[in-house]
Each structure stands twice: as structure tokens, then as C-alpha cells.
Homo-oligomer: A and B are copies of this chain.
Amino acid sequence: MARWLVILAGGRGERFWPLSRVMHPKQFLTLVGEKSMLEATRERVGALIDDKHTFVVTGVDYVEKVSAALPHVPREQILGEPEGRNTAPSIAWAARIIAERDPEAVLLVLPSDHAIQRTQRFLVLAERALTLAKEHGGFYTFGIVPTHPETGYGYIERDGQAFGDAEVLTVRRFVEKPPLDVAEKMVASGHFFWNSGMFAFRVTELLEAVREFLPTLHDGIESLAQDPQLVDEIFPALPSISIDHGVMEKAHQVYVLPADIGWDDVGTFASLARLLPRDKEGNAARGPAIFVESRNVTAISDGPAVSFIGVEDLYVVATPDAVLILSPDRSQDVRKVVQALKDGGEHEHLL
């Protein structure tokens, strides 16, 4: 029995355009710290699981980029999906391959594009979840104490205490991205966590749950295991469903570990802006920037020098061929510009 890591790196997010591009999505960006989100994700678990026990599931177009970023992960353990089908197919595919090599395996599943500031605390909790999964079985999630009624995340409602201390709780239910009034009530109740999208479980239990709750996916993954050459036929026909919705909501023995790990999904420029250090005028810069009599400005550049004179309350993202300037409350709307570029046929600024 060993511990295995499955990194989900299939994101094609448009919310970081123009930093992210179709061929260079968020997991490959260096948004926080000195490494790409993907590299930081792999590096963070170094003390827990080695590269040889790591799988990465990504888009087929990104396999080379992943391999270049994580050269010590065996090339055949970087799985390229011909089409994104959400997280359940990704995890089931990797799990099926791991189960064949190591039927006793316990898996840690991590998104590749989140920031975690308290690495040591994260490692303690991941180790705890993996150990409990091995000893007791069950599905372990990591719940983030909400700081605001975010409508962009899923939530986990806790139930009672699962084990001998208060740090592992049973899950009552999962809630998909809620409307604002529902989110406000959930946060006020104190019974809800944000779902961080990280999981730990035994590989056999996961595959058993897939067989029980997602039989079509189970059959597809079995076919794929029999004949991996047929991935281009089989994979796009798999049901597109999240692991939360397809498995966790229905499974028995689902637990949540309250995870005070400095987590952030860095889902928008607003969340990135929250993570950057600010000067006394409230300005923050990632990349070269000059502020003249300006306040509360966030400048993110992957090259151009960005200068400000007498402006306030602005996010600016600069690349050599595209510049985005937005009001701080509008970072959810970046897709509108991406859509306008698509509508205008200006695909060169998306690639």
C-alpha cells in the first residue's frame, strides 16, 4: 500500500485573460510566489508523496507543458484528456490505473491551481486524512471556514463529530454554488465550509462508488483500461460530472476536515489582488509598475512596465499583446471581454 497523488490540471479558465490564454491556462501561470500554480501544487506535497507516485490529469494539448513543468513525474502518468468531462472521469481514469498497480493505494486528489499559504498545516491535515482513509475507509474532504458569502464556490455542511476529536466531522450534505441569500445564511449558521476540491480516499472505495453511483462512467473507464488506444473514442463519450456531485454527495462515510491552511482558489483577479502585498497607498504590483499619486491600484504584468498617474481603484493586467483594465468589483466579468474577442474573430489575442 502506498499513497498516491492525483493532480487535476485540465483547467482552461478564461478568468485570467489576458495572462492566461487558451494554450497557457491558469495552472501554468506564476500568480503567487515564484513557481507556477502547478509546480507549487506538486512541490507542496513533497514531504508526503514523491513524484513516482504522482499522476496528473490534464488536456491532451497540455501534456507536454505539464511534463516540462514536472519533469520527474513519469511521462506515462500524465494523462491527456481529449476533451474535458469534469472531475469524476479524470479521477476515475487515474484511479483505475493506480488500482491495477497498487490495489491498496490511498489517493490524495488536488486541484492544480489553488494557493495554500500554510503548507505545514496542509501537510498535517493531508497526512491525517490519508491515514484515516487507510485505517477506517471513507471519503475525506477539506473544508475551508468561509470568510464571506462567496457564490462562486460549493459548500459542505458538517454534521457531527466523526472521530475522537473535533477535527474530523461527518458531512451532512454538499451544496452547489448557491445564490447570495442562501450563501449568507449558510455562512451565518457556522455549519458550512467551502469545498476546496481536495479529497482523500482508498482507490478501491472510489472505484466501487463510481460503479455504484455512476455506472456509465464505470463501464467507460473499464473499456479504457482494456484498450487505452481508444481514448479519443471513449473519453469524450463519458458522462460529464463532478466528483462532488457524482460521488461525494451520494457516498456513505463522507468526512470533512476543517482546514485552516490559508487556502484561496485564486479564481479571479480580485482573489489574486487579495493575496498581493500592498504599499501604504494600497497599491500592489506583480511585475514592473510605477505609481504616481495613485491609490488602491493592482498592477499585474508579465512584461510591460505599467505606470499610473492620479488614478484610483483599478485592476490592470498587462501583456505585450493585450491589456485589460477593470473596476475591482468586475473581475467576474473578464469572460465578457473574452467573448467579445471571440465574437469579433480576434482569436490571436486568446491564443
Chain A residues in the interface with B (C-beta under 8 A): 18, 288, 290, 292-293, 301, 303-311, 314, 316, 318-327, 329-330, 333-334, 336-337, 340-341, 344, 346, 349
A314 contact set on B, CB distance < 8 A: 311, 314, 325
In the bound assembly, the distance between CA atoms of A238 and B197 in angstroms comes to 74
Whether the pair B304, A337 counts as a contact (CB closer than 8 A) is no
Nearest-neighbor residue (CB-CB) of A328 within chain B: B310
Interface centre among A303, A319, A323 (most CB of B within 10 A): A323
Report the 9 A-B pairs with minimum CB-CB distance, sorted nearest first.
Answer: A310-B327, A309-B326, A310-B330, A307-B337, A320-B320, A309-B330, A306-B323, A305-B322, A305-B349
Contact status A290-B340, CB under 8 Å? yes
Bound form: Cα–Cα A305–B340 in Å: 12
Q: Using Cβ atoms and an 8 Å threshold, which residues of chain B touch A292? A: 333, 336-337, 340
A-B contact pairs, 14 of them (CB 8 A): A290-B344, A304-B320, A305-B322, A305-B323, A305-B346, A307-B323, A309-B330, A309-B333, A310-B330, A310-B333, A311-B325, A318-B318, A323-B323, A325-B325
Main secondary structure of the interface of A (DSSP, over half): mixed
The residues of B that contact A18 with a CB separation of less than 8 Å are 305, 307
Q: Are A309's CB and B337's CB within 8 A?
A: yes
When distances are taken between beta carbons in the complex, the residues of chain B under 8 Å from A293 are: 330, 333
Q: Please report the C-alpha to C-alpha distance between residue A303 and residue B240 in the assembled complex, in whole angstroms.
A: 40
Complex interface: chain B residues within 8 A of A323 (CB): 301, 304-307, 316, 318, 323
Contact between A320 and B321 (Cβ–Cβ < 8 Å)?
Answer: yes
Determine the chain B residues whose CB is within 8 A of the CB of A325 once the complex forms.
Answer: 306-309, 311, 314, 316, 325
In contact, A341 and B290 (Cβ under 8 angstroms): yes
Q: A305 near B336 (CB under 8 angstroms)? A: no
Residues of chain B lying within 8 A (CB to CB) of residue A322: 304-307
Tell me which of B307, B311, B326 contacts A308 (CB under 8 A).
B326
Given A305-B321, A309-B325, A310-B327, 15 more A-B residue pairs with CB atoms under 8 Å apart are A288-B346, A290-B344, A292-B337, A304-B320, A304-B322, A305-B341, A305-B346, A306-B325, A307-B322, A309-B324, A309-B327, A310-B326, A310-B333, A311-B327, A323-B323
Report Cα–Cα, A324/B323, bound state, in Å. 11
For A346, what are the chain B residues with a Cβ–Cβ distance below 8 Å? 288, 305
**Distance of A322 from chain B, by nearest CB (Å):** 5
Contacts of A306 in B (CB 8 A): 322-325
Closest chain B CB from A51 CB (angstroms): 38
CA distance in complex: A346, B307 (Å) = 13
With contacts A290-B340, A292-B340 taken as known, whether A307 is within 8 angstroms of B324 at the C-beta atoms is yes
Given contacts A340-B292, A341-B290, contact A321 B304 (CB under 8 A): yes
Shortest Cβ distance from residue A316 to the other chain B in the assembled complex, whole angstroms: 6
